[in-house]
Amino acid sequence: MKQSAQAMTQASRYDWRREEIAELYERPFADLLFQAQTVHRQHFDPNAVQVSTLLSIKTGKCPEDCAYCPQSVRFETELQPEPLLPLDEVIAAAERAKQNGASRFCMGAAWRSPKDRDLEQVIDMVEAVKDLGLETCLTLGMLNEAQAKRLKDAGLDYYNHNLDTSPEFYNDIITTRTYQDRLETLHHVRSAGINVCCGGILGMGESRADRVGLLHELVIQQPHPESVPINMLVRVQGTPLESVEDFDPIEFVRTIAIARILMPTSYVRLSAGREEMSDEMQALCFLAGANSIFYGEKLLTTPNPAAMHDKVLFEKLGIQPV
C-alpha cells in the first residue's frame, strides 16, 4: 500500500518496537529512500551537510579490548602511542579545521575514563577551541556525574559515547565494560545538559537483527541523540576484526535511511569508513538522510578522505558545508 508524503513525515517517536524497525529493513530500496528523504526534508535543508573535524589528543595504550580498535594495549598494531597533546598543538589544529570549513571540533582521548588531573587539561582545550568560535565535542570514555557537570560548566557542546552495536552482540566485541556502563555515561551527559553524540559501527560481523537492536537502543533515548554517527568498520591489521568480510554498501545505505526515519531531527553522520566508500555510495547516503561528516585526513588513527576530495564531491552534488 502506498503511503502519502504526510504520513511519512512523522514526528519523533520513542516507542518504536524492534519488529517495526525490522520491517523498515524489508522495504523496497527505492521506497525506503523516498520515505527517508521525505522525512529529511521536513526537518533539514537537503543540500546542507554539517562538517566536523576529529583530532586524537591522546593516542594508544587504552586498557579496553574493543575488537575493532587499534588503540587497545591488548593488540599488536603499528600504532605509535602518544601522550596528551600540548594545548598549543590542539589550538593550531582547531584553527586549521576552521579554515577548512569545519564548524565543530571534536577531540578524542584513548582512555577507559579520564582522571581528574587529565580533565583539567582537556577543559583548557575546550575553552580555547570555543574561543575560536567552533562548537566543541569530546570523546574520553566513561564519565561520572561530577565529570559531566564540570565539562558542561566549561562550555562543552557535545559528548560522544557510542553504543557500538546491539546489547546481544556487544560481548562479542567488548568485554572490559558493559552495555550498562555506556548507558550510564550517556545518562550523566544528558543530565548535565550536554548534547549527546551516540551511534554505532556496522560491518563487525553482526547480523541484521543486531543492527535493528542498535537502532532500537538509540531511538528509545529521550530525547534522541542530537548527533548519530554511523561508522563502517575500518579493518586494522592486528585487531581481532582484521579479516572480517566486506560490508554490503546497500545495507549500509539502508541503515542510514532507517536512522533518518527513526530520528528525524538528529544529525546523522557518515563517520569512519568513508575512505572505502565510493562517491556514488556517499551520494546515496546523503540522499538517504545523512547530513554530517568529518573533514580531515584522519579519524583519530584511521584514514579519512582529504578535505579537498570532500569539497569536490560537495560541488558535484550541490551540497553546502555548514
Does the pLDDT value for residue 42 go beyond 60? yes
**If pLDDT is split at 50, 70 and 90, which confidence band does 227 have?**
very high
Confirm whether 197 is a catalytic residue: yes
Using DSSP's 3-state secondary structure scheme, residue 176 falls into coil
pLDDT in tens, 117-171: 889 999 999 999 999 999 999 999 999 999 999 999 999 999 999 999 999 999 9
Confirm whether 62 is a catalytic residue: yes
Name the active-site residue from 104, 177, 190, 269: 269
Sorted by sequence, the CB contacts under 8 Å of residue 153 that are 6+ apart come out as none
**If pLDDT is split at 50, 70 and 90, which confidence band does 5 have?**
very low
Measured CA to CA, the distance from residue 175 to residue 177 in angstroms comes to 6
**If pLDDT is split at 50, 70 and 90, which confidence band does 272 have?**
confident
Name the active-site residue from 104, 137, 190, 235: 137
What pLDDT score was predicted for residue 296?
A: 58
What is the rounded average pLDDT of the residues 208-229?
97
What pLDDT score was predicted for residue 190?
A: 96
Its pTM stands at: 0.89
Name the active-site residue from 104, 190, 197, 285: 197
Confirm whether 66 is a catalytic residue: yes
- Name the helix (H) or strand (E) containing 104: strand 104-109
Going along 119-226, which residue ranges are E strands?
135-139, 158-160, 195-197, 200-202
| Contacts of the segment 32-36: beta carbons below 8 A, 24+ positions apart | 32/254, 32/257, 32/258, 32/288, 33/253, 33/257, 33/284, 33/287, 33/288, 34/8, 35/3, 35/8, 35/257, 35/261, 36/256, 36/257, 36/258, 36/260, 36/261, 36/288, 36/289
Sign of CA dihedral 60, 149, 220, 53: negative
Confirm whether 269 is a catalytic residue: yes
Confirm whether 198 is a catalytic residue: no
- Name the helix (H) or strand (E) containing 2: none
Using DSSP's 3-state secondary structure scheme, residue 209 falls into helix
Name the active-site residue from 66, 235, 254, 285: 66
